[in-house]
Every structure is written in structure tokens, then in C-alpha cells.
Structure 1
Amino acid sequence: MPVTPSSIVLDARSFAPGGCIAFPSGPASRGTVLVDAGHGGPDPGSVGTTLDGRTVAEKDLTLPVALAVASRLRTAGFSAVLSRSTDELGSTIESDDVQNGSLTTAASQEDLVARVRCANVARADALVSVHFNSFDDPAVTGSETLYDVDRPLAPRSRALAQSLQTNIRAGLAALGEPSPDRGVIDDSSGSEAGGGDLVLLGPGVPGSNDEPSAMPGALVEPLFLTNPADLTAVATPRGVDILAGAISSGVEDYLDEERR
């Protein structure tokens, strides 16, 4: 989804080109969804290899999925906001933010906080972050969706996470790559720091994340990038399309239920 004349940079002073881009659906919008493509730029995320030997970085799979999710949501009547719409991070980084070819821990934290800020500036009704799991053992597989339990929003976030998990599992089954259900889980098991709340989903932390996300949120990990069969199934145009359809349906089902 390229940036078009109908797209809006929500705050050009705070975000890099291609960052925090809104695509309004029109005056009768059914709601606003922040779609976050995990990683980006100097932060590749995890890396996997397909059965035919193709190497795929997480950032290069989360972006096309997020773009396709945003496109589907707009077609369904929602306003979509992308934390990043290109291979680069949505936040501005300096030369010393990258050391030995990798994003520093401090810069990574700043980038995550910027993604939260984007969701809040957009006044999003829901936040969905797209990631893929990894593990040392390539045989490990399964789908899981994370939410934060330490927020007043926890029940609504859990409902969003469950809707996403249900639809993602159905999508993977349709793709012919059914995956074990690892469930809807507390985000402490997936924290960047190895324990505690995820920045995108968790409560505010004075001096680190002063302004938490103000809407229900969930982080999806539909499969393990390090499982060659799983990666082979999804790292194709058809795989991206089916997965994006599952994620957008999960968001739509949740928001429809919220409004009943």
C-alpha cells in the first residue's frame, strides 16, 4: 500500500517519512485500527529459511502482511493507520542508534514508544502488532496471540486477542498449514526484556514509557519463522493474503462485537 494523496502523515515532526501514516476510509468509518508491522530498517527481527533455502527476515514478512491488513480493513470501511509503511522504522533514528549493524536497546525502546504514540495520536479503537515467533529448534511450531493483563483494558484486549487467534488458526488451516494452538497468553512471556509487559501493549512506565497505548491491543505471532514448513507456506503472495484476511477478520469481528 504506497503512500497516496489520500493518505495523511499524522505528525510529520515526530515520525520518519513513511511512519504513522493514516488511510481514512471516508466519513462513515466503522472505526480506526493501528496496524503495526514489527521490526524494520536496521532491526530485522528473527530470520528463517524456507524449505527451498530462501532466507526471510521477520521485518520483510511483517510489512507485506500489515499493508495487506490495512488494505482489507479500508475495504471493509475502517480507517487504517500504519506505524510504518516502508522497510524503514517509523521513528527517526540517528547514526549512533545503530551499533555493529544492529539497533541499540535504547533506540529500540524509543521506536516502540513512538509506535504507541502513533496509535494514541490516531485515536485508534484497536492496536494490532504483527510479528512472527522464533526458537532454536526448527521443529517448534504453533500460533499464539499476546495481550497485557496489567491494564484496565485487559478484558477488552483479551477479547481482541481471542478473536485474532481464532481467525488466524482458521486462516492457516485454509492455507493447508494448520498449526498447534499455543493460545491467547499473557505478554510477559514475549517481552523484549525477557519478562514483564510489552511496551506496545503494557502500562506506562515513568521515564521509559510515560504514555501507554489508550486502546485495546494485541500482538500476533501466527507461526514460527524458524520452522521451514510454516515459513514456506506463508512467505508467498497467497500466504500473505490469507494471513492478512484472517487478521483483518479478527479485528472486524472484535470491533463489531464491541459495538453491540
Structure 2
Amino acid sequence: MFEQLGILHQTSCAYTPQQSGVAERKHKHVLEVCRAIRFQGHIPIRYWGHCILTAAYLINRMPSSVLNYKSPYEILYKVPPSLKHLRTLGCLCFAKTVNESDKLKSQSIAAVHMGYSKSQKGYILFDLSNHIFFVNRDVEFREEVFPFKFVEKNKQLPFLDVFSNQISLYNDEVPASISADQNGDSVSRNLANQDSAPSTSADPNPQIPTATYQLPVFTSDNLTFVPTESRKSSRTKVPPLWMKDFVFTQKKF
């Protein structure tokens, strides 16, 4: 095929990267951008392919001095690329639920931004609940939060407070000591002082508040079950007006 087109096909020798310097430099460029993206978003190594594709996607839209400060995208399509849709890879985002089965359910899905689709004008997202990839266009981003950082280390997911628009973490640690008596009837929660350093306030002996909660005990002795009969309606049943022209052999109304 090369001979028919007048092309002389030449290859480099094995294990001699110095013979393909242009390809090696571009390979280094792609890997450097990929590592920077992965470290910033704390993306696990098993998703390295998405980092490579996103790095190539960004490089093709970056201006280059070799191309007279134009991007490869502009050289190919003769149009400057749009950069308004670019978002931080690995950040937290909320995608709109497409198939809404219930109006009282959540209308968004917590996901992680994992790249850009080649066949659709949408973002590639990773569902944190079902652990699947999907493409969505209507997405709200939180570019300062990286869920993979908490999942890999603390096994906790970020929580968005919809009232204060602040992002915090689920914290299971309770700054209190919980004690119960032998019968288990009452539980007292004594708030402990978190800082062991001496206080600089005016009161040398601050009072620690104590909260006591009384839990009810349910046994078979103090519970009484009263059977109730099903209530029947006393309303007079008549056939609907639109069925008055029909003839029935037996009335069941």
C-alpha cells in the first residue's frame, strides 16, 4: 500500500527512543499533564485512561508557540475552540436526573467529573452511589471539592448543605462520652472538653454542661394491643350516570 502511494515506510530500531525524539517529547508532555490532573483530583490509578484522554483533550485546545500561538484544534477546524465548558477533572458535581419517576425524590445525582464525551456534547461522570459511568449535560459543579480524596483515605463522602451552600463532611465522631447504667434505662451524655490546654478565659473553673436523655422501655407488660374492626362506608352506592343506558342482569352496586 505504501509503494502504491509512493511512501517509503521506515521504522526506528527497538529500544532506541533517541531515534523518535518528536514522539517521545509529545509522550512526555501528555504524561506530565496527566499526572498533574490525577494528583490534583486525587483520582485512583485505575482511572488513568480518563486522565490521559482529558490531557489530550486539553493539549489539543492549548495555544502552542510552534503553531504561531494557535491550538491544534484551530489549525484543523479553522475556528478557535470554545473553553467555556472546561471544568476541573475529579471535582464533585451534581447531574440532573433525566428519568424522574417521583417528584419527591432527589432530582440530582452526586457524581465525579471524569472527562468529556467524544460522541456527545456532555460530560463523562462517575456515579458515586452505583459506581457507573454516564454522560450528562445539565451538571452543577463544585470545583473545590474532590470526592476521591475522602473515599480513598477516610471512606467518607462530602455533604452539601443546601441551606448554607457550604460543603462539609459526615463526621461520626461525637465529642462526648456515653455511659449507661446496668438496666440500660437511661443514657447520659457528658460533654467533654476537646482542648486539654489551660483556658485563657476569666473563669478559672468553667462549668461543663451535661445533658441527660431518658429512653422509654417497651415490654409486653406495658403494651396493650386493641383489635380494631374495619370500617365500612355507609354511603349509598348508585351506578354512574354514564352507565344508565346499559342493562345489567344482576346489580352489584
- What TM-score results when the alignment is normalised by the length of structure 2? 0.21
- With the length of structure 1 as denominator, give the TM-score of the two structures: 0.21
Q: Determine which structure has more spread, i.e. the larger CA radius of gyration.
A: 2
Structure with higher RCO (Cα < 8 A, 6+ apart): 1
